[in-house]
Amino acid sequence: MESQVRGGTRWKRFAVVMVPSVAATACIGVALAQGALAASFSVSGQSFKVSADYIHGEGFSQYGAIDAGKTLDGKDAIHPVAVSAFSDARIQNMCQSVVTPGIPFLGSVSLQLTAGKSNDEDKQVSAKNLYIDVEDLAAEKAVFSDMNIGVAASSLKNPPMKGGKEQSYPNGFGQSADKVDLYKVKQTAWATTAGTFTLPGLSMKLYSGVKECY
């Protein structure tokens, strides 16, 4: 079975039924989910943007969850997310950006990271056991191979839910696919967990003002 999805979805509230969507980022972290949270760490008060020319994933699953953390001024915050997971991922021309506003005497400062700009697969970004807590995603085209929609989240196996069956919404809506290919991806995320992340040609720069990947 092969499905194609075009366009974008904004996750402003938790959706009982999700559309097929995937994403990848370069924010490296360590997390196991606990309770109803997608990430065991408290997420920051800043989401980040990531773009990529092309993403190829082997083993894909997705389910809904909640990230908890603080706003920049210290208030409690929760974020409904779609957790998109890959057993293996390869990313061409990846860019990640985050903007920190209100810095004294400077105003806004942007951090931008780029990697994997080469057309050579061996020089592209690669990741294993990658989990991305996505708020917003758009892609020109997404192709899913051997897809199953409506799977109980706790039944996802390749890869499974973070932390096993006792986290997030184990009986909630989930979906999976053997392979996925995405083109011209733009997404906003709150957190990322990865077993390994390899970033050839890594460049990280600070900019005065707002300079985002898209």
Q: How does 90-117 read in b/e, with b if 16+ C-beta sit within 10 Å?
A: bbbbbbbbbbeeeeeeeeebbebbbbbb
Check residue 169 and give its pLDDT: 72
Higher pLDDT, 179 or 102: 179
Closest by Cα among 142, 148, 152, 150 to 177: 148
How distant, in Å, are the alpha carbons of 95, 124, 130, 155 from that of 52? 6, 11, 15, 30
Average pLDDT, the chain: 82
The phi, psi pair for 13, rounded to 5°, reads -140, 160
Residue 15 CA to residue 82 CA, distance in Å, equals: 9
| Model confidence at 10: pLDDT above 90 | no
Check residue 23 and give its pLDDT: 35
- Per-residue model confidence as pLDDT tens digits over 39-91: 557 899 999 999 999 999 999 999 988 888 999 889 999 999 999 999 999 99
In the chain, where the domains are located: 2-99+114-199
| CA count, 13 A, side-chain hemisphere, 75 | 5
- Per-residue model confidence as pLDDT tens digits over 130-154: 999 999 999 999 999 999 999 998 8
Is 112 within 8 Å of 67 (Cβ atoms)? no
The arithmetic mean of pLDDT across residues 206-213, rounded, is 96
Residue 200 burial (C-beta neighbours within 10 Å; 0-12, 13-18, 19+): middle
Residue 49 CA to residue 103 CA, distance in Å, equals: 20
Residue 53 CA to residue 36 CA, distance in Å, equals: 33
Higher pLDDT, 68 or 8: 68
| Model confidence at 9: pLDDT above 80 | no
Residue 61 CA to residue 66 CA, distance in Å, equals: 16
Sheet strands (E) in the chain: 2-10, 48-70, 76-92, 94-103, 107-115, 125-152, 173-193, 196-198, 203-208
Is 129 within 8 Å of 87 (Cβ atoms)? yes
| Model confidence at 14: pLDDT above 50 | no
Q: Is 164 helix (H, G, I), strand (E, B) or coil?
A: coil
What one-character DSSP code corresponds to residue 160? Answer: B
